[in-house]
Structure 1
Amino acid sequence: MKSFLKKGSLVLLCSLLSFQAIVSQWVARHNLSPAQYQAAFDEFVKQGYRLSTVSGYTCGGQERYIALWEKKSGPEWAARHGLSGADYQAAFDDFAKKGFRLTHVSGYGVGNQAKFAAIWEKASGPAWAARHNLTAAQYQQAFDDFSKQGYRLLHVSGYVVNNVEYFAGIWEKSAGNAYIARHNLTSSQYQQAFNDFTKQGYVLKTVSGYTKNGTNLYAAIWEKESSPLWAARHGVSNGNYQYVFDNMYYQGYKPVYVNAYTSGNSCEYNAIWTNTNMKGADIAAIDDAVNQYMSSQSVKGLSIAICKDGRLVFAKGYGYADAANGEEMSPDQPLRIMSISKPVTSVGVMTLLDQHKISLDKPVFGPNSILGSKYATPSGKEKLNRITVRQLLNHTSGLRTCNGESVFWDQNKTPDDAMNVLLNSADLITTDTSSQWIYSNTNFFILARVIEQVSGQSYENFIRNNVLNKCGIGNTMYVGEASGNAKSGEATYTPMDKMNLQLWAGFGGWVARPIDLLKFLNRVDGTAIPSDIITAPTQTTMTTGSALKVSYGCGWNVSGLLQNHNGCFDGTRSFLVELGNGLSYSVIVNNNPSNDGCGWTMKGAIEAGLGKVSGYPSYDLF
């Protein structure tokens, strides 16, 4: 047997027979340098994990590793990586003498030589054989010869060195389910084979990618067996792999196989997952509802998260976060939430109420008011002095809405600049206070200034310290840029409007994941689990409508004990909804739907899909 170590490469034997796990746990890492991989390996082994899959590859000319570890009991095992052909052969022979069986091998080209990473287990079993550094013709011949002798192919790794493809395989002499193996398939050929074999009841067990003459090729094994729900992706770009992985995780999938390979100046990934947490029909009900809405409304990207009884049970990104660059949407990419910023501001005010620092019936402008000492009431606008905090919160202040003024689109303007523009606007006051319900962004722009004046902190800092941190929300929720540009990691928008989101903050400037919005809703919805960050009386005040509109409380649409809010502006539609029976969801899209002004069609479509879901997992993905 021919073969290929880097000096100082890993040699580790460990017995985990005594480990007992109630629930199997796993960890996955990718794009690790040899040193990072070694450090991760050492750390996870100390924690009781055993390596189940490893793939070596190069990305941008650098040696890299992708691997899976699982916390479970099993026989004594050993793993090596970075082995030259000679060192791999020596390790193979040594472990064979000690009764170890090869269970996994990855061949990969680094420069002009082949290297190997492998896993062995000390276990008895049927006769087995392994080969590596086989050319395509030699691999086919070995496959045919072993098949005639009653061996079945368990694992295959394709790799390229000096533009020649080679194969490493593991065979076992045993009866088993029908299986099919293919190699040297182009991406389209592989996809066709995948589709055909899946329809026939075959399950993908292994897929290995490699590149020859600039063309990505695949070798794979399918087995005809009963299986839990499973999914696979191939040819995932280096930039998208984490997004794809996150998407699968938040749907309840567990990775069972990973593979990576050089592709041009970068690298690509293949992976297989199984799912024992959700029924395929339930995921399909959500997928169908979302996909039909996106198709009918020409939506490019959508992100959704679902909670049951305070637990995050499902999240998924659909389409693209950045269609122009092929960046896939995932649950971990923040998006603009627009007017869902109003509930955030409302909870900030309610927090001040609980801190006994504010009264909702205190005047905002004029003598002895909250903002009177900072913003003088212009002559002829004494009606402003009648406006209270409560009237701003429930849109009965009589003020028109804002955001069309040029000041709100200028990254160099400050809140003081915007307030002066509004206060000196001839048409600011539309009606007397408490005479008409008028949905107005101006109300919540002013409330952001109220929060700053009362707390002595910037609006965003106060919200982060007193609301978001208490909800367990990290840096994936933030006020957008004054320039109107998307931050790194944030989705892009169509159209990409450039409003000063720092000025829009109180009424429409926040950026968040649907997951963050559900963390927020869970802690202000009046339910016992999880506990709220505001007191019960204050929560009741927040969700009680006014005489002019009983269905709108303080920054929330309300229906009985339920609350929700939407957001809509160029490039974004969003909803945060409590449905009742412990179910809530949040959804955001990143372009203008073709015929859904403020997202109500989206809301109806999503809820119709959720109505078909038979049940949710008992875990909490928060």
Structure 2
Amino acid sequence: MKSFLQTGLLVLFSFFLSLQITFSQAWVSRHNLSPAQYQAAFDDYVKDGYRLSTVSGYTCSGQERYIALWEKKAGPEWAARHGLSSQDYQAAFDDFTKKGFRLTHVSGYGVGSQAKFAAIWQKTSGAAWAARHNLTAAQYQKAFDDFSKQGYRLLHVSGYVVNNIEYFAGIWEKSAGNAYVARHNLTASQYQQAFNDYTKQGYALKTVSGYTKNGTNLYAAIWEKIASPLWAARHGVSNGNYQYVFDNMYYQGYKPTYVNAYSSGNSCEYNAIWTNTNMKGSDIAAIDEAVNQYMSSQSVKGLSIAICKNGRLVFAKGYGYADAASGEEMSPDQPLRIMSISKPVTSVGVMTLMDQHKISLDKPVFGPNSILGSKYATPAGKEKLNKITVRQLLTHTSGLRSCNGESVFWDQNKTADDAMNVLLNASDLITTDTSDKYIYSNTNFFILARIIEQVSGQSYENYIRSSVLTKCGIGNTMYVGAASGNAKAGEATYVPMDKMNLQLWAGFGGWVARPIDLLKFLNRVDGASIPSDVLTTPTHTTMVTGTALNNGYGCGWIVSGSLQNHNGCFDGTRSFLVELGNGLSYSVIVNNNPSNDGCGWTMKSAIEAGLSKVSGYPTYDLF
């Protein structure tokens, strides 16, 4: 391995992910595109006024692929080509140079036993410049040394391997500038060490190119000593984690400035660089420190959080792992079990029926002329059931003990009717007369789910989706979990992985959601005028009003004045959905048992201590 030290500049880096979401539609990033898909995307974005700023060719599982970044901005005339052989690339280079274009970016990559190239040119004037490609490591080092002696600085480098030989393509410009450092043929550990060292010395990463030789991933990079906005970089991100990393950066306000991908073994890996002009580094650090300290002290493996300000999603991030065993990273877009936050969801479903004039909260649930009496007969000796109203179920003042320990709730083959019959015939179901005592009870919300079905004529989940979630702008990332208790595709895993019948738990603990989804939900049921609520004002007031038996619990919500929150806790997960006041709210979920945080209250305190140190939030909305 050889290295060089000089004064020069460039922007490239190792990156993870592609997604078609943008800040003000100013940029678009795509990855894993076949040549045809890349050409189609290129054509579409150019028609929409986007300019290609970065493109990297690579192979993944033996297939030619592209990752690219487009930006919607004005600029000089430009041109781009991809999939060029060495001969075709040289011809294109010569032709564009004659027409007054300067090469601004080149990506070399091996496809089979052939070198291919993707490149970008701009029609601009400026200092003298030069470019070389298909240089061996020795030739590249010599070119670097020679150009440096002549006053040229390295702007861009691309490393690639063909027939197990590493080659380099570079762009130089004859100009003075800030101090810079360029290194190549660095192993992953050497690159990480160099990254750490140069960052401490005030250098910003401008370019990183990955390539693999003899089964070892290598890196070529350029750092520049320059004042820079908040920035971050990742390298060697696996194909499976690429989207998760990209999502994480996006929801923190970062914008990708350079993307790169390369073949690695039987798959591919990604490098990237981002900058952030939307949030202060100190504010992100305040959130990170609070979360990381909690996770470390409680042995939490994975955590996902989202934050809203005045109805706008301003921050979301996944920490640790969605699946620690496989190394799958957590991101804001992976749904997790929310357990008892399902109760507020059920409550809003009932309140929606009330707004539709289909139900009264003071209507009896069981017995003659009741909601469920015609379907579920009151067992002999349990006439106290006939006194229970919908309101008492919502406020946990029904006198019924809690369920979920019964075997019926853990059997994927059992139905809601099976579970209801088990409960109604249980000798210990009724613990006290109605309205004698506040008793937090899952049974109440299991029954409420049956009420929703009986009154609406739909399944519980279908009614909630059509009458609540869709109105809140929530899609299929929020759903009732599987009857088998297994995690669905795309869902995080849990430790321990208890396998309850989540279809039966639905009303009191069976929903799965992203923190982002929960904030969308809270925004539309919090009584605030922006965004508008899906409930009427009188109904919302009823929902958040406590009882004489517990002034801090309304209808399915923990309440403090008009502020709403709820937690969820069970094996393998803890969750909180919190309205803090002053327009700030957040949701947080973890996917394993904390070592000493029974129902997440320590997590709540830790998060809020961190949020109290944040000086401000962006004005955009990431929903």
- State yes or no: 1:276 paired with 2:280: no
- Offset at 1:23? 6.2
Q: Quote the Cα distance in structure 2 between the aligned partners of 1:176 and 1:555.
A: 63
**C-alpha RMSD of matched pairs (Å):** 0.9
Q: What is the letter of the counterpart of residue 335 of structure 2? A: P
Q: In 2 relative to 1, CA 24–410 (structure 1 residues): closer, same or farther, beyond 3 Å?
A: closer
Kindly report structure 1 stretches of 4+ aligned residues shifted beyond 4 Å.
none
The equivalent residue for 1:158 is 159
2:535 is the alignment partner of 1:557: no
Aligned partner of 1:330 in structure 2 is 331
CA distance in 2, matches of 1:598, 1:455: 33
CA distance in 1, matches of 2:193, 2:95: 41
CA contact (8 A) 1:370 1:450 kept: yes
Write out aligned runs for 1:114-513 (5 A).
114-513=115-514
CA distance, structure 1, for counterparts of residue 110 and residue 359 of structure 2: 67
Give the Cα separation in 2 of the matches to 1:489 and 1:129. Answer: 47
Q: Deviations over 1:16-71 (max 9, x none)?
A: xxxxxx96700000000001101100110010000000000000000000000000
Count residues with an aligned counterpart.
602
- Ranges in structure 2 where 5+ consecutive residues have no aligned partner: 1-22
Is the 1:24–1:72 contact (alpha carbons within 8 Å) kept by the matching residues of 2? no
1:520 maps onto 2:515 in alignment: no
1:260-299 Cα distance to aligned partner (Å, 9 max, x none)? 0000000000000000000000000000000000000000
Q: How does 1:26-37 map to 2 (within 5 A)?
A: 26-37=27-38
Work out the CA distance in 1 between the residues paired with 2:222 and 2:620.
32
* Counterpart AA for 2:74: S
* Letter paired with 1:540: T
Equivalent in the alignment of 1:585: 586
Question: Partners of 1:417 and 1:149 in 2: how far apart?
Answer: 84
Which whole-Å CA distance do the structure 1 matches of 2:146 and 2:489 have between them?
54
Q: Letter of the 2:100 partner, please give it.
A: G
Report the equivalent of 1:5. Answer: none
Amino acid in structure 1 at the alignment position of 2:143: A
Distance of 2:24 and 2:55 partners within structure 1: 22
Give the drift of 1:561.
1.2
SS at match of 1:324: coil
Give the corresponding residue for 2:609. Answer: 608
SS in structure 1 at match of 2:470: helix
* Rounded Cα–Cα distance in structure 2 between residues aligned with 1:76 and 1:142: 29
Residue type of the partner of 1:257? Answer: Y
Which residue does the alignment assign to 1:41?
A: 42
- What SS does structure 2 have at the residue aligned with 1:153? strand
- Match of 1:471, SS state, is coil
Task: Using the TM superposition, give the Cα deviation of residue 192 of structure 1 relative to its aligned residue in structure 2, in angstroms.
Answer: 0.2
- 1:316 Cα shift? 0.1
Q: Is the 8 A contact 1:151 1:174 kept in 2?
A: yes
- Aligned residue for 1:470, secondary structure, equals coil
Aligned equivalent of 2:52: 51
SS of 1:379's equivalent in the other structure is coil
Q: Sort the Cα spacing of 1:33 and 1:391 in 2 relative to 1 into closer, same or farther, 3 A.
A: same
Task: Name the structure 2 match of 1:538.
Answer: 539
Asked whether the 8 Å contact 1:341–1:508 carries over to 2, the reply is yes
Q: Distance in 2 between matches of 1:489 and 1:139?
A: 44
Whether the 8 Å CA contact 1:250–1:316 is kept in 2: the answer is yes
- 1:24–1:342 Cα change, 3 Å: closer
Distance 2:191 2:25 in 1: 32
| Runs of 5+ unmatched residues, structure 1 | 1-21
SS of 2:263's equivalent in the other structure is strand
Looking at both structures, which has the greater relative contact order when contacts are Cα pairs under 8 Å and sequence separation is at least 6? Answer: 2
Which AA in structure 2 matches 1:82?
G
Partner of 1:7: none
TM-score if structure 2 supplies the norm length? 0.96
User: CA shift at 1:151, angstroms?
Assistant: 0.3
Q: State the distance in 2 between where 1:464 and 1:45 align.
A: 38
Distance 1:283 1:561 in 2: 29
Distance 1:388 1:483, change over 3 A: same
**What corresponds to 2:8 in structure 1?**
none
